Amino acid sequence: MKKLLVIVDMQNDFITGSLKNKQAQKIVPYVKAKIEMYQKNGNKVFFTRDTHFEDYLTTQEGRRLPVPHCMKGTEGHLIANGLDTDGYEVFDKPTFGSLPLAERVAQIAADCDEIELCGLCTDICVVSNALILKARLPEMKMWTRRLARA
Ligand SMILES: [Zn+2]
């Protein structure tokens, strides 16, 4: 049985940058261990990145959350220091949940029986992508678990 691990938005800006957060810092080692376990078992790993551009503050997200973050080309947009993306696909998505992302994951997971999601933050980005993926892949076993608590 093959599995796919989807790591959502583990980017510097959410961990140590403009939207930094102590819980996010706490989960980095857990995510790292999870990646290593998937790798060891010959399973797949896929990263997503929240991605914004110069017009961020005029977007709907930017009006609700006027803190520029994950701007393409900045340090804050990169996957967190300590998580190695070498050899894995990194997908830039423009909003919380993303239809093109669901299409890409459906291709990658074509030979998988299970998708696990983890990352930042569970209540917004992880959940919205899980719902979109579930709509695209209704028969896929899919789950996520909170890695740290307040
Ligand atoms: Zn964002």
User: pLDDT digits over 71-128, tens only?
Assistant: 999 999 999 989 999 999 999 987 666 788 999 999 999 999 999 999 887 767 788 8
Q: Report pLDDT digits (tens) over 43-55.
A: 999 999 999 999 9
Ligand 1 center–CA 16 separation, angstroms: 15
3-state helix, strand, coil in the chain (%, to 5): 40, 20, 35
Ligand 1 center–CA 91 separation, angstroms: 14
Ligand 1 center–CA 71 separation, angstroms: 9
Amino acid identity for residue 106 in this structure: A
Over 60: is that where the pLDDT of 34 sits? yes
Ligand 1 center–CA 19 separation, angstroms: 10
Confidence band (pLDDT; 50, 70, 90) for 150? very low
Q: Say which residues have a Cβ less than 8 Å from residue 28's Cβ, sequence separation at least 6.
A: 10, 15, 80, 82, 83
